[in-house]
Amino acid sequence: MRLLRLFTKGFFLIINTIIAVLFLITCLSPILSPARFWPIGFLTLGFPFLLALLILFLIGWLFFNIRYALLPLITLLLGWKSVSAYISFHWPAGDAVAENLADSSLTVMSYNVAQFGIYREKDSRYTRQAIYALIKKQAPDILCMQDFFTSDKNQDANNRENMSQELQMPYRYFSSDFNRDGSLHWGSIIYSRYPIINSNKVKMSEGRLSESLIYADIARQGDTIRVVNMHLQSYRFDQKDYSSIKKIKAQEDTGLIATKNILQKMRLAMIRRGHQADTVAAFIRRSPYRVIVCGDFNDIPASYTYFTIRGPLQDAFIEKGSGLGRTFAGLSPTLRIDYIFADPTFKVLAYRKIKSNLSDHYPVIAYVK
């Protein structure tokens, strides 16, 4: 019996050590770009699961052998920078108080609208109208949207103009990164209730499908704020890829070819995001004004992308959110990939996330002062 206990203890100690090593490797991601070493990107995706396992080992060792609890405890402390970016410890969340702050603060909203559902639904009018209503109810002062679609054709929705009128936000800047026939446009957009005195876009990478970082310098109460909005490289999974992922999860087939294609897409996206993060961070550092940064980064908080772009800025979720803050409705419950960052001179008063199935992303809102 004693031999069995020793074997069991040794087995779990080895497993705990392996998990600790992998966890510490993922904690190198803030300083190790996937553009230089792409495997770190895949390891980082496992960060939340490794974190959960370490916490379970910590609790287990406290009950069975307190000395061994030092292994997961020290590992967690060494990786605290990544842990503290992943979980927010503010309870309750800012949602409960946010309604009372609209008059005394600047309300900033970021939302990937997934092109208003034009490719997911035969008739996307309901989705478009519902998104309009959702945003109007929140009454943002500054609205940043990614994966935005608008049309200049008479029979289509001119979302760019319609939203200005519907939301009473007359000032805007749109990237129009892609267009078809000169009348259908896709990209990122910034709306503002306050005058935009300067705006432009900066290409984050080369290629036909490359999107832009956009910025708008907004004049408010005698001050100027630079708002930055971006949509970083996605994995560009299509319906066939999602179907393959489901089959692989269900073990319906080996999925070797599908897995290879998916991993290749992920690798290329991770490398490109590494380069994009460097471009964005350099642009933010050169800003002559205090910045508010919004965007769909397509990367988790433990990543090189997150830490490089965030730099000394405040993460509104970490300041006033709670839990894991999931913002992407698909794949995994741990994916917080949509962010609002603010210059340290701002005070983040509240943060909220709205659970809505109108897009595959949830809109996020920060109230700052």
On average, the pLDDT of the chain sits at 88
- Checking if the pLDDT of 335 tops 90, the result is no
**Higher confidence at residue 258 or residue 127?**
127
CA distance 125 to 162: 13
Find the mean pLDDT for residues 266-289.
95
- Checking if the pLDDT of 18 tops 90, the result is yes
Which phi and psi (to 5°) does residue 284 adopt? -65, -40
- Burial status of residue 238 (CB atoms within 10 A of its CB: 0-12, 13-18, 19 or more): exposed
- In the CATH hierarchy, which fold is given to the domain comprising 95-368? Deoxyribonuclease I; Chain A (3.60.10)
Token pair, residue 79, equals: 């990786």
Of 29-33, 98-102, 341-345, the poorest mean pLDDT is in: 98-102
The predicted pLDDT at position 210 comes to 78
The predicted pLDDT at position 237 comes to 66
Cβ atoms within 10 Å, residue 167:
18
pTM of the model: 0.90
Which tens digits make up the pLDDT trace of 343-367? 999 999 999 999 999 999 999 999 9
CA distance 318 to 348: 10
Cβ atoms within 10 Å, residue 332:
11
Token pair, residue 205, equals: 């990478």
| Run of H or E including 129 | helix 125-138
Token pair, residue 218, equals: 């907004």
CA distance 323 to 49: 15
Which tens digits make up the pLDDT trace of 293-319? 999 999 999 999 999 999 999 999 999
- Checking if the pLDDT of 290 tops 90, the result is yes
- Checking if the pLDDT of 260 tops 90, the result is no
**Which spans in 286-343 are helix H?**
304-310, 316-320
Token pair, residue 149, equals: 């679609």
Enumerate the domain spans of the chain: 2-86, 95-368
| Run of H or E including 88 | strand 88-89
- Checking if the pLDDT of 104 tops 70, the result is no
CA distance 298 to 278: 15
Q: Are strands 106-112 and 142-151 parallel, antiparallel or unpaired?
A: parallel
